[in-house]
Amino acid sequence: MVREVEKKWLEWVDLRLNQISKSEKISASSILKLDTNTPKEGAVYALQYQISDHNSLQNFLENEDQVLKKQIKIQFCEAVLHFSSQLKTLKQYP
């Protein structure tokens, strides 16, 4: 995202995640920032959701995630790029 909207986006997305995280489908949600060590470049963030089963994930991607994507497009135009990907845990360590 471009630096000019970073603070506004963080405040905006914080409110949205507070709402989304109340869903029974989501066991945890986080805002993550990629540390690029380049303060003049755009910032890179990830919204992480922990969802326990595949059906809940599909439902989330088809509903809440699509609404969030549309809201981001309306609110921030081309200043924020939103995309979704799925990560699978291969192995967990204690």
DSSP labels for the chain? --GGGHHHHHHHHHHHHHHHTTSTTEEEEEEEE---S-TTSPP-EEEEEEESSHHHHHHHHHTHHHHHHHHHHHHHGGGS--------------
Quote the pLDDT of residue 39. 67
pLDDT of residue 11: 94
Tens-digit pLDDT string for the chain (94 aa): 888 899 999 999 999 888 888 888 888 889 999 887 766 778 888 888 888 888 988 988 898 889 989 999 999 988 888 888 888 889 989 8
Give the pLDDT score at 74.
93
Q: Can you give the pLDDT at residue 91?
A: 93
